Amino acid sequence: MIISIEIYNSIDIIQIIKEREVIILDRFFKLKERNTNVRQEIIAGITTFLAMAYILAVNPAMLQIGGLPYDGVFLATAISAGFASIVMGIVGHYPVALAPGMGANALFTYTVILTYGFSPAAALAAVFVSGMIFILISVTGIRNMIIQSIPTQLKLAIGAGIGFFIAFIGLVNAGIVVANDATLVGIGDFTNPTVLLSIFGIILTLILMSKKINGSVFLGLVITAIVGVILGFFGIAGMPEAPSQIISFKLDTSIIGLCFSGFGELFSNPNTPIAVFSILFLDFFDTTGTLISIANRIGFVNEKGELKDIEKALLSDSIGSVFGAFMGTSTVTSYVESTAGVGAGGRTGLTAVVTGIMFFLSIIFAPILSVFTNYITAPALVVVGVLMAEQLAGIEWDDFTVAASAFFVIITMILHYSISNGIAIGFIVYALLKTFTGKWKEITPTVWVLVALFIFYFTI
């Protein structure tokens, strides 16, 4: 009898602890207020991680070309992504994960190191300096002022454009869209088993979404991975194989703090101003586009077109950039693949925290991630693109100055494969059309400054 009472008491205590933990999470992340729950946020966080886990392999390969060790960059990528994502979740309260950015790592390697002649240490120092500038303009409110000054119609266009852009990335990763010498892009090989697996994943996820099943994006991703492993077991070419080991330890810490040894070279190189400016420009507007698109999607934009709590999100992103440089990687930035988690139901910073934890776990559980290849995660990106494109409905298409600007934002993002280029071209078209139609007074001084910076960026 006494034993039974003790067991019941233990169960009650465990239940009370669980309930209190849920209450604490609910209050801190405002789960009920944002119409979500712990389970939904966890699923969203894992979905975001799986959608962007490719960076753990791609970033080390890219920076290795510039002279940094592969294993060292892998560790730097995982730790900086984990740290920055958790900071975003706890401080910024946005369901946005961060990691070393694609595009930024190419700029780091091919432009800063191989073209301008910086050593890896000096290049990391340039990233560190750009991150410190980001922190400065975030704390002073300059970064927020710039984002809030973007016209509401362009914010909607940026959000929709990112939807098309991320869907295009998904189609390319799936092999459904490929390079073509005659037409630039063309249709992929539909006899390729990996392409067919991606098509299966897209159709499956679309059906799950249409039936309004909770966690459709995540379920589609996991089921596609399981089907791929099963097909691989039966010898189908190109399919992922079940990992032969679960845990792997590759902890190369040789480049942590390397940036500090590059400051002397950085400040003596005549190309330093243009290198730092290029890093700033690319990260600023890639991050801006990502945050705007997600804020639109989760209802973080008020009637005036202003983004809620954006200051904290921007500060979190800035801290991530500085920390990433210290760890030994190129610019850490907000990831557009976070929209996959939002599509899976993520609405709060808890989503980003879960993604961050997954990045930390990836340090030792890397072999398992080999299952989630690009053609398995591609369906999630395509379907999320559909969700993001809904923002087209809010654009005033009957105003040609707005319609043309929005069009160029969207088409440039896709064709240039660049969020920042899409924003830049859209701004320039918007300013020109407003000016030559006599509506130049609608353009704020901040927008004029940005247009000048965009023209300068394209010129150099």
Distance (Å, whole) CA 162 – CA 289:
8
Radius of gyration, CA atoms only, the chain: 23
Q: Considering only CA atoms, which of 183, 175, 96, 146 is closest in space to residue 378?
A: 175
- Segment 232-248 mean pLDDT: 85
Computed over every residue of the chain, the mean pLDDT equals 89
Distance (Å, whole) CA 335 – CA 39:
22
In percent, the amount of the chain with pLDDT more than 70 equals 95
Q: Are strands 177-180 and 184-187 parallel, antiparallel or unpaired?
A: antiparallel
- Segment 23-44 mean pLDDT: 90
pLDDT digit string (tens) for 340-387?
999 989 999 999 999 999 999 999 887 787 788 888 888 988 988 888
pLDDT interval class at 54 (50, 70, 90)? confident
- Segment 233-262 mean pLDDT: 88
Distance (Å, whole) CA 308 – CA 297:
13
- Segment 290-299 mean pLDDT: 88
**Positive or negative, the Cα torsion across 66, 67, 69, 70?**
positive
Report yes or no: 355 and 45 within 8 Å, Cβ to Cβ: yes
Q: Considering only CA atoms, which of 142, 135, 129 is closest in space to residue 453?
A: 142
- In this structure, what is the dihedral angle of CA atoms 282, 283, 288, 294, given to the nearest 10 degrees? 120
Q: Are strands 98-100 and 177-180 parallel, antiparallel or unpaired?
A: unpaired
Per-residue pLDDT, 336: 87
Per-residue pLDDT, 306: 81
> Residue 3: is its pLDDT beyond 60?
no
Structure tokens at 159: 């959000």
Residues linked to residue 178 through DSSP beta bridges, in sequence order:
186
Distance (Å, whole) CA 339 – CA 362:
21
Structure tokens at 200: 């299966």
pLDDT interval class at 131 (50, 70, 90)? very high
Query: Which amino acid is present at 168?
Result: F
Per-residue pLDDT, 248: 73
pLDDT digit string (tens) for 416-428?
888 888 999 999 9
